[in-house]
Amino acid sequence: MRSTDPGGRVQPAHPGDPKRIGPYRIIGRLGSGGMGIVHAALDPRGTRVAVKAVHQPLAQDPEFRARFRREVALSSRVQGPCLVPLLAADPEAAGPWLATEYIPGPTLDRHLAAHGPLVGGSLYAFASGTAQALAAIHRAGVVHRDVKPQNVILSPAGPRMLDFGIARASDGTSVTRTGIMTGTPGWISPEHYRSGTSGPAGDVFAWGALVAYAATGRLPFGAGAPDVVAFRILSGEADLEGVPQALRELVEKALSKTPDTRPTAEEAALHCAALFAAGTTQAGLPGSAPTLAEAVQAQWTVPEVEDPAWAAPPSRGRKRLLFTVAVGAAVAGGLVGGLLALPAAHGRPPGAAPSGAAPGHTAAAVSGTSASPVPAGSGEPPSPAAGPTDNAPTLATWRQARAAQTPAENDARPAMGTGAWLDPVAYPDQQFALTFHQPRGEVYIASGGQELDGGTMRELARLACLGLRGLRGAYPDLPYSTYVIVDTARRGGPAVIWSDNFLTNTTCSASVTDRTTAPRAEQATDWYPLATGFAAAQIPSHDPDEIRIADRIATAIIKDWNADPSGSRAGRLSHDNLSVGFDPANRVMYVWADEPRWDGATRAEWARLASLRSCRELSGETTAHWPYSKYAVLINGDSGGDVFLRWDSTGSCTV
């Protein structure tokens, strides 16, 4: 369970968060996930600690309790370098929790998204350190079973492997749900796919994939639908282009289809250490040859970034430019707020988008050749990327773009890897072309053959962003900052469906609205909700009117939904899973539910009810200075896939 700020920074505590858990004083949040919330805390001596608190519905499940006890027992058995030590736990508490040492730093996937692949000594140190961690786990008689980039933190002292949420004893004893395949697609061994079980050799397979990913920034078996990835793992060869030759042979052995031919984690750690031990000794470590842990630290170059939030609880007394109210203790379930705030904090990098472009990502459906706003009801939605100017990419600017000419442009396509959207097995009819508009600093990705669905579009956006960020690392003078996706197979004609600045989107997050279809009747055409606006809506508010009205609207929606006389509505609402917030910059109120499991019909019914109540309540607000007349309703997905369902302005309220 890990959903944290990209750099492991402390986020503000939410309303309803505990002040203390066990002996630890809570000062904020580090993240959240499906299992619970990770709090930033201090022990009585002021030592920084991460406390994982289990969600109450899970705490009341006896089967989950048994698994959590098992996790605590397994974690207490594992000691060694490059691991996150367990400090304390109480699996029998009313709210079960465990505390570990706080490890600052981004996860591997986020570091690669921001800085590109690991190179040189850092890569060898990463390979050795993670292999050491697995060796320690295996010596304790435990199998990790979820080795993946999201479970490795790149701390200033070296890589750290974490999350034993699905670990089991290597003797086969475990507490997991019958019939559930544990692990993450792309990081599951061939034998695990075949038999549903995996031992230490399965961890080594995932380690080989992890090292290849760290060295190249690409998934060694590509991306796409789980069954397509599984087929490649079972029958295909890993993409190891770019892995240094000294490591490649070891990685190839680790990725062998046969468990018996893979090295052990101990052997892999020793092999990696041997690759740079001589250079480390010459670098000045005193005495005899360094230990493996010393060798890793000597070659590691990830800098430490101090977080002032640890010094004291975040202040709530100062005025803020952006206001919101999170009604109850709703968990956001994604990181869009923290991620989108980063570019503003660091300024605009060289070559960034024109000043008229809106920050963050933009999902658009532009079927004309102009980005100028069009009158409501015209049937042609404007580009949200354009904001108040006409700088957004259009079909006209796409047609002006030319084919690749320079070495950097010719390298752009291979830099984007071989995701599912390029896979002839998964998408046999897909066509793909790259063109360049240097005066505008834009790279155009035109997809044809078959219309892009929302999931494929987001995957294409993420991989394009990652690839172009890596390309800029190889070509620092690359004159491009924005990529644009054009769907040429779309019903109704070609359309610009995505635009993003890959320099400012440092994590290549793609968790924004999928607006690949024209607005429906209940969706306004003169404005669009934006990911940046939703991010603003999640910042705690101090405005009394916003707090009062948000509470009134949330309470009314909850009452309306739960009062269903037919009893057919799935999922009850409460202040724990429904929130209302405000984006004062664009004067939009956002209403969101943390119910990603709802089917389409349930989402549509909830959106209709929430929109009607929001419209009526906003229309009835008589405060003279009340600035809000626009509202948006969305589902906040627990994987970061936020889906805007309805948006409009107050008026007749007849939705």
Contact 384, 376 (CB under 8 A): no
- Other Cβ atoms less than 10 A from the Cβ of 489: the count is 17
Between CA 182 and CA 191, with CA 185 as vertex, the angle to 5 degrees is 65
Q: Give the burial class of 38: count Cβ atoms within 10 A of its Cβ; 0-12 exposed, 13-18 middle, 19 or more buried.
A: buried
Please list the ranges in the chain whose pLDDT falls under 70.
Answer: 1-8, 33-34, 163-183, 225, 276-390, 417-430, 450-456, 491-492, 507, 509-528, 531-532, 540, 565-570, 595-596, 622-624, 637-643, 652, 654-655
* Contacts for 517 with CB less than 8 Å, ≥ 6 apart: 365
Catalytic residue among 5, 17, 43, 146: 146
Question: Could you tell me which of 514, 585, 525, 582 has the C-alpha nearest to residue 554?
Answer: 582
* Contacts for 230 with CB less than 8 Å, ≥ 6 apart: 185, 188, 193
Instruction: Give alpha helix (H) positions in 393-543.
Output: 395-400, 407-415, 454-474, 531-537
DSSP one-letter code for 379: S
Structure tokens at 410: 């010719």
Q: What's the CATH architecture for 1-102? A: 2-Layer Sandwich (3.30)
Edge-to-edge, what's the strand order for the sheet holding 578-583?
578-583, 588-593, 630-635, 643-649
Please report the DSSP string for 557-614 in residue order. Answer: HHHHHHT-TT----S---TTTEEEEEETTTTEEEEEE--TT--HHHHHHHHHHHHHHH
Structure tokens at 329: 């203790």
HEC states along 183-202?
CCCCCCCHHHHHHCCCCHHH
**In the chain, where the domains are located:** 1-102, 105-306, 347-510, 534-649
- pLDDT value at position 352? 30
Contact 359, 340 (CB under 8 A): yes
- pLDDT value at position 638? 45
Please state, in angstroms and as integers, the Cα–Cα distance from residue 306 to each residue in 10, 26, 40, 104, 302, following that order.
Answer: 11, 19, 14, 9, 13
- pLDDT value at position 163? 65
- pLDDT value at position 548? 84
Residues 295 and 276: their CA atoms lie apart, in Å, by 8
Kindly report the CATH number that applies to the domain delimited by 105-306: 1.10.510.10
Residues 590 and 337: their CA atoms lie apart, in Å, by 14
Residues 430 and 418: their CA atoms lie apart, in Å, by 13
Kindly report the CATH number that applies to the domain delimited by 534-649: 3.30.300
- Other Cβ atoms less than 10 A from the Cβ of 315: the count is 8
Look up the pTM and report it. 0.47
Mean pLDDT score of the chain: 72
- pLDDT value at position 568? 62
Structure tokens at 82: 């490059």
Contact 536, 584 (CB under 8 A): yes
- pLDDT value at position 426? 43
- pLDDT value at position 268? 94
What's phi and psi for 382, nearest 5 deg?
Answer: -75, 170
Residue 260 annotated among the catalytic residues of the structure: no
Structure tokens at 125: 């140190």
